[in-house]
Amino acid sequence: MKKLDLNLHLHKNGKLFGFGVSPNADWKAIFVGLILLTFLMAVLGVYMFVKISQGGIFMADKKEPEIQSTLDLITLKKTVRYYENRAKIFEEIKKTKDSTVDPTL
């Protein structure tokens, strides 16, 4: 039987893809690599677009509506009272003069 030749010619002068043989070969390898990556990104983008538009990916699970609890009026009144007291204290602080001395005077 004949042996199949599956040599992909990846090595050039003992270097993978000819990288390091000459600057021209280096730039060619970089360019081809970037073109392949760009193509793969485009294919992935189209795949994701199609899957999302068909609803086959990134779909949220439908949940049953939650039962809304009633408002706890006691807690609400405590909270409102707390912030009203804070507002009063803030107004008092704004009205009082600053006790620190200005060193430039």
Instruction: Quote the pLDDT of residue 45.
Output: 96
Q: What integer pLDDT is reported at residue 98 of this predicted model?
A: 74
pLDDT at 104: 81
Structure tokens at 100: 């620190």
- Is residue 21 situated within a structural domain? yes
Name the domain count of the chain: 1
Count of C-beta atoms within a 10 Å radius of residue 18: 18
Measured CA to CA, the distance from residue 8 to residue 24 in angstroms comes to 20
Question: How far is Cα 83 from Cα 91, in angstroms, rounded to an integer?
Answer: 12
Residue 96 confidence (pLDDT):
86
Is residue 5 domain-resident?
A: no
Domain that holds residue 54: 11-58+70-95
- Stretches in the chain below the pLDDT threshold 70: 1-19
Q: Looking at the domain assignment, is residue 53 inside a domain? A: yes
Q: Tokens representing 13?
A: 């002068």
Which residues does 72 contact at the CB level (< 8 Å), separation at least 6?
Answer: none
Structure confidence at residue 49 (pLDDT) = 93
46 found inside a domain: yes
Please give the pLDDT value at position 90: 95
pTM tops 0.95, yes or no: no
In a domain, 3, yes or no: no
